Structure 1
Amino acid sequence: MDSQRNILLIALMFVSFMLYLNWNETNNPQPQGQGVTQQAQHSGDVPAGSDASQPLTQDSVSNKLITLHSDVLTLTVDTQGGDIVRAELNKYDAEFDSKDKFLLLKNQPNHVFVAQSGLIGPDGIDTLKGRAEFTTNGTDFSMANGQDELRVPMTVVKDGITYTKTFILKRGNYAVDVDYTIDNKSDKAATVQMYAQLKQNLMDDGGSLTMPTYTGGAYSADDTKYKKYSFDDMQDKNLNLTISKDGWAAMMQHYFVAAWIPHADGDANLYTRTSDGQGFIGVRYPTTTIAPGTTTTMDATLWVGPKLQDQMEATAPNLNLTVDYGWLWFIASPLHWLLATIYGFVGNWGVAIIILTFIVRGAMYPLTKAQYTSMAKMRMLQPKLAEMRERIGDDRQRMSQEMMELYKKEKVNPLGGCLPLILQMPIFIALYWALMESVELRHAPFMLWIQDLSAPDPYYVLPLLMGASMFLIQKMSPSTVTDPMQQKIMTFMPVMFTVFFLWFPAGLVLYWLVSNVVTLIQQTLIYRALEKKGLHSRK
C-alpha cells in the first residue's frame, strides 16, 4: 500500500470522525424554548419537601444585593434567600481583548444561571410562601491585601432561632464554602433540611461541527464517577440518586463549570427537575434536628470557575473529569499533562505545542521508519505481483494464497505502511480534545498574528501552510496509483483538509502543520537511507 492510499485512509478516518461528531450533535439535540415537563415536581425555586404538592411562587432577585470580592472572584449575593446571582471571574476576559470580565453566573432577562442554597423543612427559612431576608453589616466586602480568607456572615432570626449563612472565599481559589450555623435558643427542637442547587435556562447544548462543546448538567455519585445529564435528559426524567460519600452536582459549559459539593452528615439526595423553562440540578441533605439550646453547622462547597484540573481535583474527587476528553481520555490526559509541563519551562503555549509535536513524532519514528521501509519493499514486489496477476487471472483464492506466500518469503508486511497512520489518528483526536478542553489555551497568545490559540487563525495562514505541507508530502512520496479517479482524489485531499482546518483552533492547526514538517524531514532522511540500500526509487 503506497503513501497516497495511506493518506486517503487517514483522510477517510478523519472525515468519519467529523461526520460522527455532526451525527451525534444532530441525533442528540438539546431543547430550546420554554417547555415544561409533566414530571417536574413543582414550580418555583425551592426543592420538593413534605409540602411539595402545594403551588410555589416564582422568586425573583430582590434589590438588596451585596458584593464579595476576592482576587479571582467577584460574587453578587441576593440577601433574599442568600443566592449567588452573579459570578464574575476576575482573571478571565469575557471575549478576546475585552475589558469586561467573564460572567459564569448571571441573572439576565435572556439568561438565568444562579447558584442557590437554603434550608427547608418544618423549621426552615425557605418556604412555599417565600424566602427569608438576611441582614448583613454592609453591602460590599473585599479581601484585603495580605488576607488569605474572606468570611461574610448573613443572619436571620425566626421563632427564637438564629440562622447564620456564611460565605467563605479564599485567595486564588474558585471554591466557595457556604456554611449554615443554626443556633436554637427556643424551647423546642428545630428540624431543617439543607439543599444546594444550580438553576439555568433550558437551552441548546451549543457547539458546532469543528467545536462540539457541551452545555448542560453533570454529576458524580456513588457508582458513577462522572456522567453528563443534559437539559433534554432532565426533561425526560428526573434524577433521584443517593450520595453516601463523594459526589457533586454541576452545570458545565466550554472551559467553565459550576458545581455544588455537599458535605452532608449521612446520605444526600442528588436530583434534577425542570420548571417554567428552567432546569435544576442539586443536592438535598438528610433532615437534621437541632435540640433546644444547641448549635449545629451544615456546609457545602461551590466551585464556580474555570476547569483547572489540579484545583478541581483538590476540591472534590472526580470534579476534574468535567474536563471531558471523551473516550480517548487515557491518551488526552497525559498529553495535556506533558503540554502543561513543557509550558512550565517555555512560558508560551504555542511553543509548548511545537515541542510536544516533536516529542510525539520522535516517539513514533521507529514506526514511521518501518512504514516507509515496508512501502519500499512493497514497491519492489510490484513487478512480481503484476506477473502473478497476469498468470493466475481471475482466480482470487489462488491469487491471495500466492501473494501471502510471496510476502512471507520476502518478509514483507502488507499492512506495515498503515500502522503508523492508524496510530496517528487516535493521537490527533486525543490532542484535539486536549486542546479543545484546556482553558489554559483560552485567549493564549502564540506570536505575531496568532493571539488566541483556542480560536481559528484570523488570516488562515496556518491552515494554508498546513495544506501546502500535505501537498509536499504527496509530491515526495512515490506512487503506483495509475487510476485517474484515484489520482484526482489524492490531489484533492490537501484541499479538503485545508478547508476543514480553516475553522479549527489555531493550536490544533499548529500541531498538524509542525507534524507535517517533521514528516517531511523524516521522509527525507529515511528515503536517503533507503536509496543507499537500493530499496527506494521515486520513479
Structure 2
Amino acid sequence: MDDQNKNLILATALSFAVILVWFLLFPPPDQPLEDPNAPAVTADNAQPAAITSSTAAPVGTTPSTADTAEQANAPRIDIETDRLSGSISLLGGRLDDLKLKDYREELAEDSPIVTFLSPKGQPHAYYALYGWAPGAGLDLDTVPGANTVWSVEGNDTLSETAPVTLKWDNGTGLTFRRTIAVDEDYLFTVTQSVENTGAGTVSMAPYGTLTRHGEPEDLKNFFILHEGPMRQLAEEREDLDYDDMQDFGADPVWGAGASVEQVPANGWTGFTDHFWMAMLIPQNDQPFTSVLRYSAQADTYEAIARFPTMTLAPGETQEITSRLFAGAKEWETIRNYQNEDGIHRFLDTIDWGWFFFLTKPIFWLLHNLNVVIGNMGWSIIGLTIIIKIVVFPLAYKSYASMAKMKELQPQMEKLKEAAGDDRQKMQQSMMELYKKEKVNPASGCLPILIQIPIFFSLYKVIFVTLELRHAPWALWINDLSAPDPSSILNLFGLLPFLPPEPGSMLAIISLGVLPILLGISMWLQQKLNPAPTDPTQQMIFAWMPWVFMFMLGSFASGLVLYWITNNVITFTQQYLIMRSHGYKPDVFGNIKGSFKRKEKAKD
C-alpha cells in the first residue's frame, strides 16, 4: 500500500467517522407570586423582602375557568405594523398577543402566519408583563400588577408611528402610566411612570417579566441548537436549558426555583427559540436584578428584570424606560440593534456554536452574497467558490504533491523490490526519496481535513439561521433548510404517490436528486486516480461515495448543494493542477478499469 493511498484513506475515513458521529448526535429534525415583584422593598434596598404565601396568590398556576374567561373577555387595544399584528390586554397591560406577518408556520402559501405570543389560558401561553413592586407606605393593592385594569389615554392602536399610553389611578394619590412604542421591526420601548399627588413619601420598584406556561410546543432539544433561557450579565453570557431552571435551588429572597444575578450594566434576559425570541432589555447603562424562576406547581418559566427602588416625595413624578425585543431572529435586524442601539453582544442571541470564528464570517459572507444575488441557493454556490479560492494555495500544494508522487511511482516500486520483506529499510528508503524530491506524502489529505470544520460550520449556519428557513433555490428545491423533497421511490414524482415522511424507516432509502448527484460527484472524484491494488482499499473506495450519499441524503438541501459544488470544483482543480505537473489523470480509463475488476471478481 503506497503512502499516498494510505493518507487518502486515512483522511476519508476520518472525515466519514466525524460526520457519522455528527449525524448521530445531531439528527435532522424531526411558590412564586402572581406579581413577580410583589415582595416588599425599601427605599435603600433593591432586594425584595422574603416571599410569603400571604402576599399574593401563586404565579402561573393553571388558570381557573373564571380566570381564563376574565382574561379572554378583557378589553384590548390593537397592534398593527407592517411586520406585526396582535393586541395588548388592558387586564394587567399584558403584551400577550403577537403574530409575525412575514413568516408562516409551514411552507405552503395558505399556511397561518406565525403566532409568537399568546394569552394566559391558551395552550403554551407566553406573554410580557410590567408592573411595580410595593415598598414603604404601599401594599399590593396600591400598585399595578397582573390583574390591574388599565384605561387608554389617547391613541387606541399601537403602530410604528403611534405609541399608546395606559393609565391607572390607585385612588390614594398615585397615578401610573405606561407608554408603549414599537419600531418598524420587533423592538418595543416601554416607559413606566408614576406621579405622587398624595401627602406622603412612598417607594416602589419597577419590573418587567416574560412568562412561559410550559415548555415550547416545538422545542427541538438538539444539542447543536440552544433553546431556552438566556441572559447577558455585563461581559458574561449565560445559556441555560429549561431543565436547568427546574433544578434551581431556593434563593433566600426570591424563594424556591430561582437564580438571581445582579447586573451593573449592559445586560438583557429572556427566552430564545429556534427562529424567534423575546428579550427584556434595560437601557445600556441601567443596573438591574436578573431573575430566572421556575414554578413546579404551575409549570411556568419566568425571566424577570427588576430595577432599583424609586422613592417619590409628594408632588414628584419619576419614570423608567426599558425595551422588549419580541420577534424573529433576523441577523441584519439584530445586528442593527447591537450596532446602532448599543445592545451589548445582541448578535450572540443567535447560536453560533463552538466554531463561531468560522460560522460568523461564513454567514456574513452568505448574507451579503444573497443581498447581491437574491437567491440563497446560488449564494451557497458562490460561497463555495470563494472558500475554494481562499484555500487554493493549500489545494495547489497538495495536488502538486500528489502529481509528484505519481511521477515517483516507478522509483518507489524499485525501492520496494530492493527492500524485500525488510519494512524498516523500505520506509527509510522512502523517506530519503521524499526528502530528495521535496515531497510531503501527508499533504495529500490536507484539503479533505480542512473541509471538516468548514462543513460543520456551514451545517450549523444552515440549521440555526432564520434566513435559510423556507428559502428556495430552483426547480423543486423550495426549502434549502430541509432535505431534498424528491424521491427515487416514486421516480422523482413520475409515479402517483408521495415519498415517505422524514423520520420514517423508508426515508433512509428515499434519495432525492441532490444526494444522488453528491454520490456521483464523489465517485468521479475518486476516478482521478487508479484504484489501489489492495483489495481492502478497493472495497473502501468502492463503498465510500454511496455511504456518504445515503448518510447525507436527509441533510438540508443547502448543505448537500455545498458539498456537490465543492466536489465539482475540487475535481476540476485537481485535474488541471496534476496535468500542469506532468501527470494526466485517465478518468475514463479508471472508470473502465473498475468495471473490469468487478467482472473478474464475478468470474
Scaled by the length of structure 2, the TM-score of the pair is 0.78
Report what 1:517 is aligned to: 568
Residue identity opposite 1:273 in structure 2? R
Report what 2:503 is aligned to: none
**CA deviation vs aligned residue, 1:44-92 (integer Å, no higher than 9, x gap):** 4524632512263345561213321111112332222222212211111
The Cα shift of 1:304 comes to 0.9
**2-side partners of 1:322 and 1:442: how far apart?**
17
**2-side partners of 1:462 and 1:207: how far apart?**
26
Report what 1:37 is aligned to: none
Residue range with higher mean Cα deviation, 125-134 or 336-345? 125-134
**1-side partners of 2:441 and 2:459: how far apart?**
30
Report what 1:78 is aligned to: 89
Report what 1:335 is aligned to: 362
**CA deviation vs aligned residue, 1:384-441 (integer Å, no higher than 9, x gap):** 4455556557766665544433321120112111122211111222222222232122
The Cα shift of 1:23 comes to 4.4
**2-side partners of 1:373 and 1:487: how far apart?**
24
Report what 1:95 is aligned to: 106
Report what 1:33 is aligned to: none
Residue identity opposite 1:461 in structure 2? V
The Cα shift of 1:165 comes to 1.3
Residue identity opposite 1:437 in structure 2? V
Q: How does 1:317-332 map to 2 (within 5 A)?
A: 317-332=344-359
| 2:310 is aligned with 1:288 | yes
1:186 paired residue among 198, 215, 218: 198
2:209 paired residue among 197, 202, 207: 197
**2-side partners of 1:14 and 1:119: how far apart?**
57
Report what 2:593 is aligned to: none
Change (3 A) 1:514 1:128: same
2:469 paired residue among 423, 442, 447: 442
Report what 2:45 is aligned to: none
Report what 1:57 is aligned to: 58
2:152 paired residue among 136, 145, 166: 136
The question of whether the paired residues in 2 share the 8 Å contact of 1:199 and 1:281 is answered with: yes
**1-side partners of 2:6 and 2:515: how far apart?**
20
Q: CA RMSD in A?
A: 3.0
1:498 paired residue among 542, 549, 552: 549
Change (3 A) 1:288 1:403: farther
**2-side partners of 1:163 and 1:109: how far apart?**
29
| 2:266 is aligned with 1:246 | yes
Residue range with higher mean Cα deviation, 410-419 or 97-106? 97-106
Change (3 A) 1:536 1:348: closer
Report what 1:299 is aligned to: 321
**CA deviation vs aligned residue, 1:252-296 (integer Å, no higher than 9, x gap):** 111221111013875211121110222222221111112211111
Residue range with higher mean Cα deviation, 340-349 or 233-242? 233-242
**CA deviation vs aligned residue, 1:118-153 (integer Å, no higher than 9, x gap):** 21123476879963221225996153xxxx422111
Residue identity opposite 1:42 in structure 2? P
| 2:517 is aligned with 1:462 | no
**2-side partners of 1:523 and 1:317: how far apart?**
46
Report what 1:168 is aligned to: 181
Residue range with higher mean Cα deviation, 361-370 or 343-352? 361-370
Q: How does 1:423-434 map to 2 (within 5 A)?
A: 423-434=450-461
The question of whether the paired residues in 2 share the 8 Å contact of 1:4 and 1:474 is answered with: no
Report what 2:36 is aligned to: 46
The question of whether the paired residues in 1 share the 8 Å contact of 2:124 and 2:215 is answered with: no
Q: How does 1:357-376 map to 2 (within 5 A)?
A: 357-376=384-403
Change (3 A) 1:404 1:44: farther
The question of whether the paired residues in 2 share the 8 Å contact of 1:93 and 1:101 is answered with: yes
**2-side partners of 1:208 and 1:487: how far apart?**
40
The Cα shift of 1:228 comes to 1.2
The question of whether the paired residues in 1 share the 8 Å contact of 2:151 and 2:168 is answered with: yes
Give secondary structure in 1 for the equivalent of 2:365. helix
Give secondary structure in 1 for the equivalent of 2:127. strand
Residue range with higher mean Cα deviation, 423-432 or 399-408? 399-408
**CA deviation vs aligned residue, 1:144-181 (integer Å, no higher than 9, x gap):** xxxx42211111111211111121012x2211111101
Report what 2:530 is aligned to: 478
Residue identity opposite 1:157 in structure 2? D
The Cα shift of 1:247 comes to 0.9
**1-side partners of 2:422 and 2:279: how far apart?**
65
Residue identity opposite 2:117 in structure 1? L
Residue identity opposite 2:276 in structure 1? F
Change (3 A) 1:130 1:438: closer
Structure 1 residue runs of 5 or longer lacking an equivalent are 26-40
| 2:80 is aligned with 1:69 | yes
Change (3 A) 1:499 1:208: farther
For CA contacts below 8 A with separation 6 or more, give which structure has more relative contact order.
1
Report what 1:28 is aligned to: none
Report percent identity of matched pairs: 33
**1-side partners of 2:530 and 2:537: how far apart?**
14
Give secondary structure in 2 for the equivalent of 1:327. coil
Report what 1:308 is aligned to: 330
Residue identity opposite 2:240 in structure 1? Y
Residue range with higher mean Cα deviation, 271-280 or 132-141? 132-141
Change (3 A) 1:341 1:266: closer
Give secondary structure in 2 for the equivalent of 1:239. strand
Change (3 A) 1:247 1:396: farther
Give secondary structure in 2 for the equivalent of 1:324. coil
Residue identity opposite 2:8 in structure 1? N
Change (3 A) 1:221 1:434: same
Residue identity opposite 2:447 in structure 1? P
Residue identity opposite 2:243 in structure 1? D
Residue identity opposite 2:472 in structure 1? P
Give secondary structure in 2 for the equivalent of 1:111. coil
| 2:416 is aligned with 1:414 | no
Report what 1:507 is aligned to: 558
**1-side partners of 2:420 and 2:209: how far apart?**
73
**2-side partners of 1:422 and 1:79: how far apart?**
59
Change (3 A) 1:264 1:482: closer
Larger radius of gyration between Structure 1 and Structure 2: 2
Residue identity opposite 1:234 in structure 2? M
**2-side partners of 1:464 and 1:536: how far apart?**
24
Structure 2 residue runs of 5 or longer lacking an equivalent are 40-47, 249-257, 338-342, 487-511, 591-603
Residue identity opposite 1:497 in structure 2? F
1:220 paired residue among 222, 232, 256: 232
Change (3 A) 1:355 1:319: same
Residue range with higher mean Cα deviation, 396-405 or 115-124? 396-405
